[in-house]
Amino acid sequence: MLSDIRKYYDDQEEQTREALLYLRKHILNSDKSISEEWKYRLPFFYFKGKMLCYFWSDKKTKLPYIGFMDGVSMDHPALVQSDRKRVKVYTFNPSEDIDIQTIDELLGLALSIKKCAIQK
């Protein structure tokens, strides 16, 4: 039987699944202290036990996004907060090339915030 995380990826359309699996690998390889867990019925990425980001899809556009848990503290033009209190999201189109430079900038910001919070 497939794990819930594996099933989440397998249930996506092909282009979305390939993009998410690529991003999953990239996120997990960006820092050895990042792990993936199943939480709130979606794949969540943790940094040293603290929620970092997650994958989900916009209900209206159906486009996937990365939600950053401390997004409210992140200042980047690619992020959108909308009516969320804490989270900002980076939406991407899986049929286009992934802007890995922007992903790396966002991950860097998110990791800096987590590292500062852990040191306090």
Query: How many domains would you assign to the chain?
Result: 1
Instruction: Write out pLDDT tens, residues 89-109.
Output: 999 999 999 999 999 999 999
CA dist 36 and 67 (Å) reads: 14
Indicate if the pLDDT at residue 20 is higher than 60.
yes
- As given in the structure block, the two tokens for residue 79 are 């992020």
**Strand locations in 1-120, DSSP E?**
34-39, 42-47, 50-57, 64-68, 88-91
Can you give the pLDDT at residue 34? 96
This prediction's pTM: 0.91
Q: Which domain holds residue 100?
A: 4-119
- Residue 89: HSE in the Cβ half-sphere, 13 Å Cα cutoff: 17
Confidence at 88, pLDDT banded by 50, 70, 90: very high
Indicate if the pLDDT at residue 68 is higher than 70.
yes
CA dist 93 and 84 (Å) reads: 21
Can you give the pLDDT at residue 2? 56
Can you give the pLDDT at residue 1? 44
Instruction: Write out pLDDT tens, residues 26-41.
Output: 999 999 999 999 999 9
Q: What CATH number is attached to the domain comprising 34? A: 3.90.1150.200
Contacts 24+ apart (CB under 8 A), 51-57: 52/110, 52/111, 52/114, 53/27, 53/107, 53/110, 55/8, 55/20, 55/23, 55/24, 57/16
